[in-house]
């Protein structure tokens, strides 16, 4: 697990295991007390009133009257990435990873070939003519449709106020639906 070094963050691991019911154990990758000290990370003000603070302060020798915490974002991004990759490396099946990377590359090539054929057949200009969209927006809609295996460029739903273009919509605002 990756989380801040704080009284609530320490409890996340216990809570995760209890709530999911599918993990027998987890590994806390960072932040730990040792990492906070080794990297000399700056403390920030902790959450006052957290009922877990007194026990946390006692466990690590902090002033119980002054809650503090250390945020994982205080690590340099490259070091954060290195620590996480080092932690997950023993669990990576290299054969499966190589197979998946090759599979994705094949899908990219197939999609590129489809798009080349789409453009050659005038698919992009059809979209522009139908919807009056700028060429770059029309091409983006076509690529999104192709990625989803659809033959139509895309469809739009219009609201009374606006119409926007996108590959997917999860909000109430109107967007192109692919």
Q: pLDDT tens digits, residue range 71-124?
A: 999 999 999 999 999 999 999 999 999 999 999 999 999 999 988 888 777 765
Residues in the chain: 178
Greatest C-alpha distance within the chain: 72
Question: Could you tell me the pTM of the whole model?
Answer: 0.55
Task: Using only the alpha carbons of the chain, give its radius of gyration.
Answer: 25
What mean pLDDT value characterizes the chain? 77
54: preceding bond cis by omega (within 30 degrees):
no
Residue 144: predicted pLDDT: 54
């Amino acid at each position: 697990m990756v989380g801040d070094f704080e009284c609530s963050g320490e409890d996340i691991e216990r809570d995760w295991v209890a709530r999911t019911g599918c993990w027998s154990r987890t590994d806390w990758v960072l932040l730990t007390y040792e990492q906070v000290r080794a990297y000399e990370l700056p403390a920030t003000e902790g959450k006052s009133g957290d009922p877990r603070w007194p026990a946390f302060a006692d466990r690590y020798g902090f002033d119980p009257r002054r809650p503090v915490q250390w945020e994982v974002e205080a690590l340099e991004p490259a070091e954060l990435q290195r620590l996480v990759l080092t932690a997950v490396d023993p669990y990576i099946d290299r054969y499966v990873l190589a197979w998946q990377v090759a599979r994705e590359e094949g899908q990219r090539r197939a999609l590129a070939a489809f798009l080349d054929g789409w453009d050659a057949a005038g698919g992009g200009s059809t979209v522009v003519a139908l919807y009056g969209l700028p060429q770059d927006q029309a091409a983006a809609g076509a690529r999104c449709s192709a990625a989803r295996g659809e033959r139509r460029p895309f469809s739009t739903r219009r609201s009374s106020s606006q119409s926007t273009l996108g590959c997917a919509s999860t909000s109430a605002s109107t967007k192109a639906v692919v």
